[in-house]
Amino acid sequence: MQKKAGPLFYIFLVLFIFIVMFPFLWILIAALKPPSELFGERAFQFIILNPSFDNFVRVFTERPFARYLWNSTVVATLTTLYSITIASFAAYAIAWLSFRGKTIILRIVLAVSMFPQIATISPIFMFMQSMGLTNSYLGLIIPYTTFALPLAIWNLTIFFRKIPVDLGEAAKVDGASIWQTMTRVFFPLAMPGVFTTAILVFIAAWNEFLFALTLNTQEAMKTVPVGIVMFQGMFTIPWGEISAASIIVTVPLVIMVLIFQRRIISGLTSGAVKE
């Protein structure tokens, strides 16, 4: 018995979507406004009299924004690749093999995913500084493990458990080794789960702020979130450029969300909802 939606419901829906999307809409308008309309009496107008792409151009010509994008892409991609690889093995073992201590390991993984980043920052900062790893990609990828690996192990374990274990048993009966079972039977079935988890890890690494803020302070090594926050000067805040940069970062995320929404939602909710 699912209730049918009435007209009142659609009004609510439109209102809801409008409220959620309004900040983006307004930022888009701000990004397209020339300074004369961004401030002063036209500041609150929806209609742009002289729209221009100046802000978008300036973000790339007057600021190293392309460099920030590249840094974020490198760090997030490498973090995702390596944590997914290690986590896949671990999650496979937890979900499909029988050995003692699995519950404890899973508990540790869950506990570590709750660690506040701030509690690890001082030794990690001092270590990276003494090893000369501040302002490097490796210097961010290593600490990103603190959240990426537990997130990946946790999600993958949940996904892998849903794959019927009988398939593994059947393979075993047919004489397949554990390695063969893993690579031939298991991984093809696990790919959707791996892919979903990779999206979640990538977004988490892309959005990370505290480590990036403290470890990579050189202009050429900053990631996107840190770079945008640092646009603000001592006395002025270049709202036009900040808006343009925010739009540039948001658009690919929106596209990704639109394409992968089902996967992302199943990844996000699988931990919280028991089916």
Partner 1 sequence: MKLSEKQMGYLLILPAIVIILIIAIWPVMRSFWISLHDIRLNDPTKTEVHTSYGLDMERYVNTLPNLLRYLKKEADTAQGAAKEQLLSLRQQTEQMNATLQQTGEIAARYERIDQLLLEFKPVPNELKYVELTSEQMESIQSTLAAIGTTLDEMGKQKQLSKPEGATGVVQGISSSVIEPNYVGFAYYKKFLTDSRMWGALYNTLFFTVVSVAIELVLGLWIALLINKQFAGRGLVRATVLIPWAIPTVISAMMWKYLYDGQNGIVAHLFEVTGLVSNMGVLLTTKAGAMFSVILADVWKTTPFMALLLFAGLQTIPHSLYEAAQVDGASRVQQFFRITLPMLKSTLLVSLLFRTLDAFRVFDLIYALTGGGPANSTETISILAYKTMFAQMSFGEGSALAIIVFLCVALISMGYIKILGADLLGESGGR
* Token pair listed for 125: 């900062």
CB of residue 53 vs partner 1: minimum separation in angstroms?
A: 19
CB-based contacts of 123, cutoff 8 Å, min separation 6: none
CB of residue 32 vs partner 1: minimum separation in angstroms?
A: 14
Which of 36, 61, 183, 261 binds partner 1 (CB under 8 A)? It is 261
CB of residue 90 vs partner 1: minimum separation in angstroms?
A: 4
Q: What is the dihedral of CA 183, 189, 194, 196, to 10 degrees?
A: 170
Q: Which residues of 114-141 are buried (b: 16+ CB within 10 A; e: fewer)?
A: eeeeeebbeebbeebeeeebbbbeebbb
Which of 13, 49, 138, 220 binds partner 1 (CB under 8 A)? It is 13
Considering the rule CB under 8 A, would residue 257 count as an interface residue with partner 1?
yes
Diameter of the chain measured on Cα atoms: 78
Piece of the chain touching partner 1 by CB under 8 A; list 15-23, 48-56, 59-67, 183-191:
15-23
Residues 165-194 that bind partner 1 (CB under 8 A): 165, 177-178
| Closer by beta carbon to partner 1, 58 or else 102 | 102
Residue 227 near residue 73, CB atoms below 8 Å: no
Considering the rule CB under 8 A, would residue 114 count as an interface residue with partner 1?
yes
Considering the rule CB under 8 A, would residue 205 count as an interface residue with partner 1?
no
Which of 47, 119, 173, 234 binds partner 1 (CB under 8 A)? It is 119
Which among 12, 6, 23, 10 is positioned nearest to 247, based on CA atoms? 23
